[in-house]
Amino acid sequence: MRAGLRALTSRGRSFLASGLAALLMALLLGENDLFRIGVLVTALPLLAAMVVARTRYRLSCARRLDPSRAEAGGESTVTLRLENVTRLPTGLLLIEDTVPYALGVRPRFVLDRVESRGIREIDYRVRSDLRGRYTIGPLSVRIADPFGLVELTRGFTISDTLVVTPQVVALPHVRLSGEWTGGGDSRTRSVAAAGDDDVAPREYRQGDDLRRVHWRSTARHGELMVRREEQQWQSRGALLLDTRRHAHRGEGPRSSFEVAVSAAASIGVHLAHEGLGLRLVTDQGAEHLTDMGLSWSLLDTLAVVRHSPARSLEMGITALRQGGGDGLIVAVLGALDPDEARDLARLRHSGITGVAVLLDVDSWEGAAPGTSASQLAVEAVLAGYGWRIVRLPVGTSIASVWQHAANRGRYGGAA
């Protein structure tokens, strides 16, 4: 009852004050008719408060996202399921779900009445052009009487997460040495997590099953060691994403940084579908992927990647060098200077294929693509070490230039 009285609206308080004033004047003037009116006007908000308070904890709520992982620019349908778990029907329900600003305005609905044991399902859609991880909920339900005298708010604790991933485009098939599982044609193979019987332990690598840690060898060497029995041959590769703020131009979904993230996602999904065991590295170091063979793990990580304040690629290059065993390195890069390009280029040697996707960041500022002297110098350094060059100017899809990844020792991409 106290909660109901606290939930009186302005109209309800006005009714209550008017009724009490009428009762007081009726007593002073001895007017029975006015007394009856005062009792009616006073009792109405009190009865409404009692009825609304009794229905306070009689609803259950569930939420479903379809899909729970959507591409930037795509839509997801949110379904709210409300159930009246009592034998009494509800009154007027005002429903409002909590939605981040990036997904649109907060959805509001009105349910006139939910019968005993009744179920109502409400659908609405959310859409975001910005990738990220967004929390939807909790839901709030305002229970009101038909006269608008009492309005009681109830908040549910349940919330769900919508992951907005970068845009992914289908890429044409390009033959890259070091990419494929199996032998022949100088394809680089490396040991991943299971194969021929070999009980000798080795150092732990990202993606190894922790159940295979060999604790005796770990204690002896002072670092995690894993057993190599029943290991299989599998190709491995690395994807380097340049997230340095100063290396990119523009803001919002059309910035060079967002284009780089989308290109990395498209390349990563393409290679994962081709069976490559992939690891993700940024200029901040190696990123943890729950499973190197599943593209959704990569997309979830790229959904929340942000600009870094780093000024060089040193940490990323070190992480690539320490990982080892990569037959393919794909680097999605912003603005570089020739010295940084030389440090990166030295990672490629015999048996490793290097592909550099170079964003022509000057074209985001209006310059003609491929005219920057610094860009040409970087391309020359990388090509000199045997890297394959893919240019990606503003307004160009990675799908339209990816075939240039097959060009050995030549420049490729839109000019």
pTM for the whole structure: 0.75
Residue 206 confidence (pLDDT): 61
Mean pLDDT along residues 62-83: 94
Q: What phi and psi, each to the nearest 5 degrees, are found at residue 359?
A: -75, 125
* pLDDT band at residue 216 using 50, 70 and 90 as cut-offs: confident
Select the more confidently predicted residue: 233 or 332: 332
Q: What phi and psi, each to the nearest 5 degrees, are found at residue 106?
A: -70, 125
Residue 186 confidence (pLDDT): 37
Task: Single out the residue of 198, 193, 195 nearest to residue 211, CA to CA.
Answer: 193
pLDDT in tens, 98-124: 999 999 889 999 888 888 889 999 999
Residue 256 confidence (pLDDT): 95
Residue 149 confidence (pLDDT): 83
Residue identified by tokens 């057993």 is 227
Residue 303 has pLDDT above 90, yes or no: yes
pLDDT in tens, 150-195: 877 888 888 999 999 999 999 998 887 554 433 333 334 443 333 3
pLDDT in tens, 236-264: 889 999 999 999 999 888 999 999 999 99
Q: Which residues of 49-77 are buried (b: 16+ CB within 10 A; e: fewer)?
A: bebbbebeebbebebebeeebbbbeeebe
Residue 363 has pLDDT above 80, yes or no: yes
Cα–Cα distance between 291 and 206 in angstroms, integer? 10
Residue 177 confidence (pLDDT): 56
H or E element, residue 295 = helix 295-303
* pLDDT band at residue 272 using 50, 70 and 90 as cut-offs: confident
Cα–Cα distance between 276 and 261 in angstroms, integer? 19
- Yes or no: say if 283 and 249 are a contact pair by the CB < 8 Å rule: no
